[in-house]
Amino acid sequence: MKDISLGQFYPARSPMHRLDPRTKILMTVVYIVMAIGFTSSFVSFGVLALIVLLGVLFSRIPIGKVLKSVRAIIFLVVFSFIFTLFFYSAKENDTLLVHWWKINIYLEGIYTATKLMLRLFLLVMGPTLLTLTTTPVDLTDGLESLLKPLKLIKFPVHELTIIMSIALRFIPSLSEETEKIINAQKARGADFDSGNIFKKAKALLPVLIPLFVSAFRRADELADAMDSRCYRGAKGRTKMKVLKLRFADFVAFFLLLAFFFVILLLKYNWFGIAFIEAFI
């Protein structure tokens, strides 16, 4: 049960952990843009993998922990790999490798499917690095700071982020509560593991109902506690931990931009550098 927490923060002391959450969020956004929009050749995928690898090295997180994150999407990845492989629409000059019944497998199809697979894996690993090195509280703090400009158009940034941080704050509590209720019902002979899917869903009722009751109770209590401490939203509210950019933040961000430049170069090759041509 303890594994389901969304805030899968991995406590360690490292340069990555010390980076400003805003820097890390922005870097993640840039990374995602790169991974979705601009990586096309195997070499640029290599660059992306290098970025992840550097991130892992600078965060002192066991690489297994990061690789574990892709386990959740492995089914999706395998499925889309096979799908792309079999339904690849061939162009002229494509090399036909296997021809059997109605199935045609092309070399280019294998390339495309492999690239898709790499893209999905790398897409998950980057943001995982963010959540592994940033506490949920820092994450919402950073988000609030980044979304500040939206206040100009009357977007309730503070309210949104406080909702987010409360939700994140209560994930461990509710998961603990769930575990307690499951144990209590198990102690009364409840069986959550056997039977078909309908039976299993029905077996969850004795857990879900008390859980909802307790979530509402907690919400009421929290609202009372906030009220009694005169909480009234963003107006005039100061922060206990003020975010501050440091030199390392700029270094990290510009390093990433440099990688971005390399990837763009690999895709468009504006200067017509000859040896890049070979990679495209």
For residues 127 and 206, which CB has a smaller minimum distance to other proteins in the complex? 206
Tell me the one-letter amino acid at 61: I
Contact between 209 and other proteins by CB under 8 A: the answer reads yes
Q: What is the footprint of other proteins within residues 3-42 (CB under 8 A)?
A: 10-12
By CB neighbour count within 10 A (0-12 exposed, 13-18 middle, 19+ buried), where does 238 fall? exposed
Question: In b/e form, how buried is each residue of 152-173, taking b as 16+ CB within 10 angstroms?
Answer: eeeeebbeebbeebeebeeeee
Does 236 bind other proteins (CB under 8 A)? Our answer is no
Size of the residue set binding other proteins (CB under 8 A): 23
Tell me if 224 contacts other proteins by CB under 8 A.
no
- Indicate whether 190 belongs to the interface with other proteins (CB under 8 A): yes
219 contacts other proteins (rule: CB under 8 A): no
> Per-residue string for binding with other proteins, 162-181, x by CB under 8 A?
---------------x--xx
User: CA-CA distance, 239 to 81, in Å (whole number)?
Assistant: 47
Task: Please select the residue that binds other proteins; options are 72, 148, 183, 231, rule is CB under 8 A.
Answer: 183
If we measure between CA atoms, which residue out of 49, 47, 61, 50 comes closest to residue 15? 61
String of contacts with other proteins for each residue 74-93, x by CB under 8 A: --------------------
CB of 168 to other proteins, least distance (A): 18
Q: Which is nearer to other proteins, 216 or 254 (CB)?
A: 216
Segment contacting other proteins (CB under 8 A): 21-29, 43-51, 131-139, 203-211?
203-211
Near other proteins by CB under 8 A: residue from 206, 215, 265, 269:
206
Q: Which residues bind other proteins (CB under 8 A)?
A: 2, 10-12, 177, 180-181, 183-191, 205-207, 209-210, 213-214
